[in-house]
């Protein structure tokens, strides 16, 4: 199992009032599956992805990636492990705007301390596959939204993670570009990766293997 989530609880204190944003969430995701989550704004979708990615720590429950339990301490080894095993595509692209496309894509490998010729070749291959190779030396700031999202996807792939988390990856894109981005995610699923996606797009819901709606801190299975 690539992802196993057991009874995750997360509370935030908002204006002095404690709110249980995630209230006992379970999930299983295996290789070659794509799972969509939907739900109203503020219901906790990003929080859930952040907990899986180790960006936020849960107040209860466990997350297992590749059958190994995630440890939520800010130490070097656990962040290295996340960097290797998880690719995160953020709700906003979060690129380094003043850096080139290739420099953005190589960032997770640089964090891993592994930028050698093999990684550079792989980064170039990913850029070609995502049809942005010709922009590899371009500053990220000047790209269109669809191009930025491709760079963000390329960056998420450079370390060959088994699990891809994508937080509304097409929220700011037109229909045709959204279709293209989703096709890239479907390609990753075909390759045997597990993809967990937050989206409001109906066509992505229809084409996912699993579909959940988040309500009152819980996930309800729709498909
Ligand atoms: N770091 C934080 N500190 C305090 N409260 C937070 C924090 N992150 C999120 N929250 C609160 O948790 C709730 C869920 O936020 P979250 O971003 O997970 O929602 P979402 O479902 O992703 O919404 P959207 O669809 O608008 O992206 C919100 O009420 C938010 O204010
Ligand atoms: Mg969100």
DSSP 165-200: EEESTTTTS-HHHHHHHHHHHHHHHHTT-EEEEE--
The predicted pLDDT at position 184 comes to: 92
Question: What ligand is nearest to the CA atom of residue 13?
Answer: 1
Token pair belonging to 99: 């850096």
Q: Confirm or reject: Cβ of 14 under 6 Å from ligand 1.
A: yes
How confident is residue 124, by pLDDT bands cut at 50, 70 and 90? very high
d(CA 221, CA 94): 30
61 has pLDDT over 90: yes
> Which residue has its alpha carbon closest to ligand 1 atom 5?
12
- The domains located in the chain, with CATH, are 30-57+72-221 (3.40.50.300)
CA 8 to centroid of ligand 1, rounded, Å: 15
Look at residues 73, 68, 57, 87 and name the one whose alpha carbon lies nearest to residue 3.
68
pTM of the prediction? 0.94
The predicted pLDDT at position 83 comes to: 86
Comparing 215 with 177, which gets the higher pLDDT?
Answer: 215
Comparing 74 with 157, which gets the higher pLDDT?
Answer: 157
Q: Confirm or reject: Cβ of 45 under 6 Å from ligand 1.
A: yes
d(CA 146, CA 35): 22
Atom of ligand 1 nearest to the CA of 91: 27
Across 50-59, average pLDDT: 93
Question: What ligand is nearest to the CA atom of residue 215?
Answer: 1
């Amino acid at each position: 199992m690539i992802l196993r989530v057991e009874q995750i609880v997360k509370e935030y204190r908002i204006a002095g009032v404690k709110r249980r944003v995630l209230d006992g969430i379970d999930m299983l995701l295996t290789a070659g599956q794509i799972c969509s989550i939907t739900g109203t704004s503020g219901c906790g979708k990003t929080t859930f992805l952040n907990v899986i990615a180790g960006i936020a720590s849960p107040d209860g429950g466990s997350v297992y990636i590749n059958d190994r339990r995630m440890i939520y301490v800010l130490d070097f080894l656990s962040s290295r492990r996340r960097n290797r095993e998880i690719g995160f595509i953020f709700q906003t692209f979060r690129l380094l705007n003043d850096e080139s496309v290739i420099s953005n894509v190589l960032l997770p490998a640089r964090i891993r301390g592994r930028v050698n010729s093999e990684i550079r070749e792989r980064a170039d291959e990913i850029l070609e596959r995502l049809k942005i190779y010709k922009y590899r030396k371009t500053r990220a700031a000047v790209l269109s939204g669809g191009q930025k999202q491709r760079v963000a996807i390329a960056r998420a792939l450079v370390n060959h993670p088994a699990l891809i988390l994508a937080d509304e990856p097409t929220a700011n894109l037109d229909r045709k570009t959204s279709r293209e981005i989703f096709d890239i995610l479907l390609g990753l699923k075909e390759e045997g990766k597990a993809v967990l996606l937050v989206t409001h797009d109906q066509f992505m819901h229809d084409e996912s293997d699993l579909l959940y709606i988040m309500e009152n801190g819980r996930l309800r299975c729709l498909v």
